C-alpha cells in the first residue's frame, strides 16, 4: 500500500442514482488528471459508503473532501464519526477538509457565471436580481452560513443590482423572497451540489410560481455543483489539507543496540469484550515492554499493560492518523531491536483480515523473532454473540468466511457467487456492499428466503442484531441504521439465536 488518495465524500441518494452521477463524473475527471494515486467517491446515502471505501483504500494517506456546499450535520458529525469508526482497522493517514462550497474560489466562479448569463440575456446588471438558493436546515445552525457568506461576497462584488439568499429548508423561503423582488430580470442560482431533484425540480417550481404573476424574466441556472471550475477547488482543498506527516522513528547515535532483539508477539485482542482475549495473550500483554495497539482496542484491556510499558496507539481517527502499515512494521522492528518485548495487539485474530502476516513478514525479514497468539475472531464471536451457531446438526455442515470488499476504492463488489452453496456464509467488511452481495448469492441459486443476520459491534455494549431473509437483509440493516463494524451471517443457522454469551461483561443481545 502506498501513495496518496483523494476521497470525495458526498451526500448521495439511494432513490435517485442520477444524484450520484455528478460526483462520479468529477472523480473520473480527477482520475484522468493523475494528481492522486487514487480517487474514490463515498456516499452518505448510496454505495459505496464511507466505511467501505476507507476500509479498503490502497493508499498511505487520504484527503477527504466533503462535496457539500456548506458545513452541517454530515461534515461536522457524520463524517468525523465515520473516520473514527474506521480507525481501528485501516492504515491510512487521514485529513478532512472544509466543504467545497466554503472555498474562497467559489465566489469568483459564481460571479463570472452570473456576469456571463446576464450578458447572454442582454440584461443590465443593475436591473437584475440574483437569488442564491441554499438548502439550509433549522436543525443545524451552520448549514446556512456558506450561502449567506457567498451572498455577501457577491453583493460586495456588485454582480447584480440586488443579491439575496433564500433556502429550501430554512427562512427566508424561496417563494417569499421571490415575491419581494422587484427587478424585471431575476437570475436564480441554486447553491446546491447535486444536479438532482432540488436543483431541477424544487427550485424551478418554487420560483416559477411567481414568474407569470410578476411578468418577469426568471432564469434558473444549473446547480453550482455542476460548475466545471469546482474541480480546481477540490484539488486546491486537497493540496492545502494534506494529512500530517508520519512521525519519524530514529535511533539516536548513542543508543546501545543489543545483539539479541526482543520478541514481537502478534496478539489477537478478541472481538471487543475484554474478557475474550486468550489467557496467553493476556499474560504477554501484562509483561510487555511495548504495546502497539489499535486505537479502539478498549481501555479496559490496555489497563492490563504494565504501568511503565510504552503504549503506542497505532490506530487512526479524525485528526489522528499517525502511522501507515509500513511505519507500523518499522516501529515493531525498531522497538524489538532495542531489546524490548513488543506486543502488537490487534482486534479479533491477527491473521483474519488483520494484516498480521505482513507484520510477521517484516519482523522475520529484519531478523526479529515473531510469534502469533491467535485471537477470537469476530467471524466466530459475532454470530456466537447473537446466539447463532456456524454449524448445527441437520442445518449446517460447512461455513466460509469471506471479505465483502475487493480492496478497490471504486466500489467493485467481490465475487461471492461461488460460495452460494456453503451452508453458512460469514461476511466481514461487507456492510457497504450488502445489497449487491445478497443479489449475487440469490442469482447464484441461494434462496432469497434464506435467513440472514447482521451483528454490529459484537460483544460490546453497542451490539445490535438485525435479522431478515437474504432478499431483504440489506434493506433491514439500513432501516436499523447499522454501522461498521458488522459481521453478516447467511444460512439456515441465522434463524437461530436463543443463546447469548452468558455472564461475560458487556454482552448485550438485541434481536430485532
Ligand atoms: C479488517 S477486519 C478485522 C477482522 C479481525 N482481525 C477479526 O478477526 O475479527 C474488520 C472487520 O471485522 C469485523 N468486525 C471486527 N470486530 C467486530 C465486532 N466487534 N462486531 C462486528 N464485526 C466486527 C467487521 O466486519 C469489520 O469490518
The model's pLDDT over 385-423, given as tens digits with 9 standing for 90+, comes to 999 999 999 999 999 999 998 766 666 899 999 999 999
Is the shortest distance between the CB of 134 and ligand 1 below 6 Å? no
Which residues have CB under 8 Å from 175's CB, separation 6+? Answer: 206, 207, 209, 210
Mutate to test the pocket of ligand 1, among 379, 403, 428 (most ligand atoms within 8 A of CB): 428
CA distance 209 to 65: 36
Confidence of residue 503 (pLDDT cuts 50, 70, 90): very low
Cα(13) to ligand 1 centroid in Å equals 27
CB 66 near ligand 1, within 6 Å? no
Q: How many CA atoms lie within 13 A of 143 on its CB side?
A: 20
What band does 508 get if pLDDT is binned at 50, 70 and 90? Answer: very low
Please tell me if the CB atom of residue 432 comes closer than 6 angstroms to any atom of ligand 1.
Answer: no
Confidence of residue 197 (pLDDT cuts 50, 70, 90): low
Compute the mean pLDDT over every residue in the chain, rounded to the nearest whole number.
Answer: 85
Q: What is the mean pLDDT of residues 328-339?
A: 88
| Closest ligand 1 atom to Cα of 430 | 25
DSSP 260-290: SPPPEEEEE-BSS-GGGS-HHHHHHHHH-SE
Report d(CA 480, CA 474) in Å as an integer.
10
Ligand 1 and 352: CB distance under 6 A = yes
Q: What is the average per-residue pLDDT within 68-96?
A: 74
Cα(267) to centroid(ligand 1), Å: 15
Non-local CB neighbours of 374 within 8 Å, separated by 6+ positions: 268, 278, 349, 350, 351
The confidence score (pLDDT) of residue 422 equals 96
Each residue of 157-174: pLDDT tens digit? 999 999 999 998 888 988
C-alpha 484 to ligand 1 mean position (Å): 9
- Minimum-distance ligand 1 atom for the alpha carbon of 356: 6
Ligand 1 atom nearest to 378, measured from its CA: 9
Ligand 1 binding pocket includes 271 (Cβ within 6 Å): yes
pLDDT at res. 505:
39
Task: State the distance from the centre of ligand 1 to the C-alpha of 288, rounded, in angstroms.
Answer: 25
To test the pocket of ligand 1, the residue of 275, 348, 374 to mutate (highest count of ligand atoms within 8 Å of its CB) is: 348
Percent of the chain's residues with pLDDT above 90? 49
> Catalytic amino acids?
294, 316, 429
Substitution site in 293, 347, 359, 507 for ligand 1 pocket (most atoms within 8 Å of beta carbon): 347
Instruction: Return the SS3 of 250.
Output: coil
What integer is the mean pLDDT of 102-122?
92
Span 311-326, mean pLDDT? 67
Lowest average pLDDT, out of 77-81, 134-138, 277-281, goes to 77-81
> Atom of ligand 1 at shortest distance to CA of 457?
20
Say how many Å lie between the CA of residue 132 and the centre of ligand 1: 46
Q: Give all domains of the chain, ordered by start, each with its CATH number.
A: 4-102 (3.40.50.1400), 106-226 (3.40.50.1400), 264-376 (3.40.1010.10), 379-495 (3.30.950.10)
Range with the lowest mean pLDDT among 53-57, 74-78, 214-218, 369-373? 214-218
Residue 1, pLDDT > 60, answer no
Cα(377) to ligand 1 centroid in Å equals 7
Query: Is residue 485 lining ligand 1, measured as CB closer than 6 Å?
Result: yes
Say whether pLDDT at 91 is over 50: yes
Q: 381 with 359: CB under 8 angstroms?
A: no
Amino acid at each position: 500500500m502506498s501513495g496518496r488518495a483523494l476521497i470525495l465524500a458526498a451526500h448521495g441518494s439511494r432513490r435517485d442514482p442520477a444524484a450520484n452521477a455528478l460526483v462520479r463524473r468529477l472523480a473520473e475527471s480527477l482520475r484522468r488528471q493523475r494528481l492522486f494515486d487514487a480517487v474514490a467517491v463515498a456516499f452518505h446515502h448510496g454505495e459505496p459508503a464511507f466505511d467501505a471505501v476507507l476500509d479498503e483504500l490502497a493508499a498511505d494517506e487520504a484527503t477527504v473532501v466533503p462535496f457539500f456546499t456548506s458545513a452541517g450535520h454530515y461534515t461536522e458529525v457524520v463524517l468525523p464519526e465515520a473516520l473514527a469508526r474506521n480507525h481501528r482497522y485501516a492504515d491510512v493517514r487521514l485529513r478532512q477538509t472544509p466543504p467545497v462550497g466554503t472555498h474562497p474560489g467559489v465566489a469568483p466562479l459564481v460571479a463570472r457565471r452570473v456576469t456571463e448569463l446576464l450578458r447572454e440575456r442582454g440584461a443590465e446588471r443593475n436591473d437584475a436580481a440574483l437569488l442564491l438558493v441554499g438548502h439550509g436546515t433549522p436543525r443545524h445552525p451552520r448549514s446556512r452560513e456558506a450561502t449567506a457568506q457567498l451572498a455577501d461576497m457577491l453583493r460586495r462584488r456588485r454582480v447584480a443590482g440586488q443579491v439575496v439568499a433564500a433556502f429550501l429548508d430554512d427562512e427566508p423561503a424561496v417563494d417569499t423572497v421571490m415575491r419581494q423582488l422587484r427587478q424585471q430580470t431575476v437570475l436564480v442560482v441554486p447553491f446546491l451540489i447535486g444536479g438532482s431533484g432540488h436543483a431541477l425540480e424544487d427550485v424551478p417550481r418554487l420560483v416559477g410560481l411567481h414568474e407569470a404573476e410578476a411578468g418577469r424574466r426568471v432564469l434558473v441556472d444549473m446547480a453550482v455543483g455542476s460548475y466545471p471550475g469546482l474541480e480546481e477547488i477540490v484539488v486546491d482543498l486537497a493540496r492545502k489539507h494534506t494529512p500530517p506527516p508520519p512521525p519519524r522513528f530514529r535511533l539516536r547515535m548513542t543508543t546501545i543496540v543489543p545483539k539479541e532483539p526482543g520478541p514481537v508477539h502478534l496478539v489477537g485482542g478478541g472481538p471487543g469484550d475484554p474478557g475474550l482475549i486468550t489467557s496467553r495473550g493476556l499474560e504477554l500483554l501484562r509483561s510487555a515492554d511495548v504495546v502497539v495497539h489499535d486505537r479502539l482496542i478498549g481501555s479496559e484491556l490496555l489497563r492490563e499493560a504494565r504501568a511503565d510499558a510504552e503504549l503506542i496507539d497505532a490506530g487512526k481517527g479524525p485528526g489522528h492518523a499517525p502511522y501507515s502499515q509500513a511505519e507500523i512494521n518499522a516501529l515493531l522492528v525498531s522497538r524489538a531491536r532495542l531489546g524490548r518485548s513488543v506486543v502488537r495487539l490487534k482486534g479479533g485474530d491477527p491473521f483474519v483480515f488483520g494484516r498480521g502476516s505482513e507484520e510477521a513478514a517484516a519482523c522475520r525479514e529484519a531478523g526479529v523473532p515473531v510469534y502469533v497468539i491467535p485471537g477470537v475472531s469476530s467471524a466466530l464471536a459475532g454470530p456466537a454473540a447473537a446466539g447463532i451457531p456456524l454449524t448445527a446438526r441437520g442445518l449446517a455442515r460447512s461455513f466460509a468466511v469471506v471479505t465483502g470488499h475487493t480492496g478497490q476504492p471504486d466500489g467493485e463488489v467481490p465475487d461471492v457467487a461461488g460460495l452460494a452453496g456453503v451452508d453458512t456464509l460469514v461476511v466481514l467488511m461487507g456492510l457497504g456492499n450488502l445489497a449487491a452481495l445478497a443479489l449475487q448469492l440469490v442469482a447464484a441459486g441461494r434462496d432469497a428466503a434464506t435467513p440472514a443476520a447482521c451483528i454490529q459491534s459484537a460483544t460490546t455494549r453497542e451490539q445490535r442484531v438485525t435479522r431478515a431473509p437474504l432478499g431483504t437483509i440489506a434493506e433491514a440493516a439500513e432501516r436499523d441504521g447499522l454501522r461498521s463494524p458488522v459481521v453478516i451471517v447467511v444460512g439456515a443457522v441465522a434463524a437461530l439465536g436463543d443463546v447469548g454469551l452468558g455472564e461475560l461483561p458487556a454482552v448485550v443481545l438485541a434481536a430485532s
